[in-house]
Amino acid sequence: MPTPRLLIIGLDCMAPELVFDQWQRDLPNLSRLMALGSYGRLESSIPAITVPAWSCMMTGRDPGELGIYGFRNRRDRDYHSMAISDGRAVKFPRLWDMLGEAGWTVVALSVPGTSPPYPVNGSLVSCFLTPSPEVPFTHPPELGEQIRGWLPDFMLDVPNFRSDEKERILENLYALCDQRFTLAEKLIARDRPDFCMLVDMGVDRIHHAFWKPMDPRHPQYEAGSPFANAIHDYYGHVDQRVGELLAVCDPDTAVLVVSDHGAQPLMGGICINEWLSANGYLTLKAAPTEVLPLDKVEVDWSQTQVWGAGGYYARIFLNVKGREPQGTVAMADYEALRDELAGKLSQLSDPIGNPLPVKVFKPQDIYQKVRGRAPDLIVYFDDLAWRSVGSVGTGGLYTVENDTGPDDANHAPLGLMIFHDPTAPRGGQVLEGAQLYDLVPTLLHRYGIDAPAGLRGKVLIL
């Protein structure tokens, strides 16, 4: 058997149009994998966000089944109970757990949704949500000491990547990337695992920090910036590290390169709570004189039917009688109000009056099950080109900036996948209609392992 039998290189947020089209000739290792294997765009989960997308990809379950609808989720039915969901929220086995059950030794490095670390049949290093390297971040625990010996300044993420310290962010990005790939190389050499997976968060972080100087489509494009090539050069560096990692694997190792979603320029923000307030759904006790998060102002819940949360997409919550503490919406009116909101949101325009494409999803329509406290509606503004801003006191419906710090990019619903198995080359097969839910059933089928019941995806012909 080759070592590893299967290598998965996760590149958070890597954009298919940059790899497949714009920069393909500058990415020799990824291009070679494409030419010899299968590749295509990969539809993300709804929502197309790191948390929950990687957990959806690795379990074959959707956000409704996981009960994870974003980085932050409602802990209870109180009005201000949003909290970060860590790996303990994922109640289903992930691909490496299934392979481990089948006797494979596994290595899983920094895959989002793995903090805190938990036992696997091999080694696990937890993800960017780990508070610091001072808390346990590995299984087995002693692996942490080994990592500190190999990589004394081990990083779990780029600190404060939404800031104006561009030189420092760039330096941190390369360090983070190099550490992940070096760690994978060392653990493959040391442990000879059957399966190895790593995720580099640097691709996502560099998009958020450096898209403006790269893309003339960006409304705040920075022509002639010294950072004009920052993303291009980083993609080239990642490509080089992919080649170096493959060089320490056996010639017959199968490799999957995958991103959880894509990226695009941030066109602006839609202030969802300002809209709800202007349309009579949300009532504040006093209008704020400055920009504030909704949980920092007094809401008159007895006069409020609906409120929203910001992020890549808008989450709409109804103030339901018997469900929320001061509910005003009778269950008999619930569906009609959801439909009314969907209809009105679909009429939104951009700041100069052009229609803004809006997609409004009901969780019950798009998920196999709906667990936890899901939003009542999930709203995409122009396929995520516009983000949702939850703050109030902005003085209008539109913003140009993100309300959580400087930000150049938004997510896009299509990520990418490239798969090459040297024992069964496919000669540049282009995949159509692939979804991230397809990866677990496809890989289990490929290796003759029975899939758990109820997986969402289909088996791809790779």
* pLDDT single digits (tens) 152-168: 999 999 988 888 899 99
pLDDT of 81 reads 84
**In the predicted model, what is the mean pLDDT of residues 301-316?**
97
Q: What's the pLDDT score for residue 459?
A: 98
**Confidence check: pLDDT of 83 > 80:** yes
Q: pLDDT (tens digit, 9 = 90+) per residue, 392-414?
A: 999 899 998 766 667 899 999 99
Whether residue 104 is predicted with pLDDT greater than 90 in this model: the reply is: yes
In sequence order, which residues have a C-beta less than 8 Å from that of residue 429 and are 6 or more positions away?
37, 38, 39, 462
What pLDDT does 402 receive?
Answer: 67
pLDDT tens digits, 57-78: 999 999 999 999 999 999 999 9
- Percentage of the chain beyond pLDDT 90 is 92
Tell me what pLDDT residue 403 has. 65
Residue 456 has pLDDT above 70, yes or no: yes
Predicted pLDDT of residue 333: 98
Q: What is the pTM of this model?
A: 0.97
User: Three-class SS string for the chain?
Assistant: CCCCCEEEEEECCCCHHHHHHHCHHHCHHHHHHHHHCEEEEEECCCCCCHHHHHHHHHHCCCHHHHCCCCCEEECCCCCCCEEECCHHHCCCCCHHHHHHHCCCCEEEECCCCCCCCCCCCEEEECCCCCCCCCCCCEECCCHHHHHHHHCCCCCCCCCCCCCCCHHHHHHHHHHHHHHHHHHHHHHHHHHCCCEEEEEECHHHHHHHHHCCCCCCCCCCCCCCCCCCCHHHHHHHHHHHHHHHHHHHCCCCCEEEEECCCEEEECCEEEEHHHHHHHCCCCCECCCCCCCECHHHCCECHHHCCEEEECECCEEEEECECCCCCCCCECHHHHHHHHHHHHHHHCCCECCCCCECCEEEECHHHHCCCCCCCCCCEEEEEHHHCEEEECCECCCCCEECCCCCCCCCEEEECEEEEEEECCCCCCCCEECCCEEHHHHHHHHHHHCCCCCCCCCCCCCCCC
pLDDT, one tens digit per residue, over 240-259 is 999 999 999 999 999 999 99
391: confidence class by pLDDT, cuts 50, 70, 90: very high
Domain spans of the chain, in order of start: 6-266+411-446, 268-406
Percent of the chain residues topping a pLDDT of 70: 99
Give 407 or 22, the one with higher predicted confidence.
Answer: 22
- The pLDDT value given to residue 354: 95
- Taking residues 297-309, report their average pLDDT: 97
**pLDDT at residue 10 greater than cutoff 90:** yes
Contacts for 249 with CB less than 8 Å, ≥ 6 apart: 2, 3, 4, 7, 188, 255
Q: Is the pLDDT of residue 293 over 80?
A: yes
Q: Does position 189 have pLDDT exceeding 70, yes or no? A: yes
The predicted pLDDT at position 162 comes to 83
Q: Model confidence over 41-60: pLDDT tens digits?
A: 999 999 999 999 999 999 99
- For residue 395, the model assigns a pLDDT of 87
Q: If you average pLDDT over every residue of the chain, what do you get?
A: 96
Q: According to the model, what pLDDT value does residue 404 have?
A: 66
Name which of 69-73, 191-195, 363-367 the model is least confident about. 69-73
How many other CB atoms are found less than 10 A from the CB of residue 140?
A: 14
| Dist. CA 373–CA 243, nearest whole Å | 43
pLDDT tens track for 375-385: 999 999 999 99
pLDDT recorded at residue 327: 98
- Per-residue pLDDT, averaged over 32-39, amounts to 98
The SS3 call for residue 119 is coil
pLDDT of 199 reads: 98
Kindly tell me if the per-residue pLDDT of 105 is higher than 90: yes
Q: Which CATH class is domain 6-266+411-446?
A: alpha beta
Using the predicted structure, report yes or no on whether residue 144 has a pLDDT greater than 80. Answer: yes
pLDDT of residue 406: 73
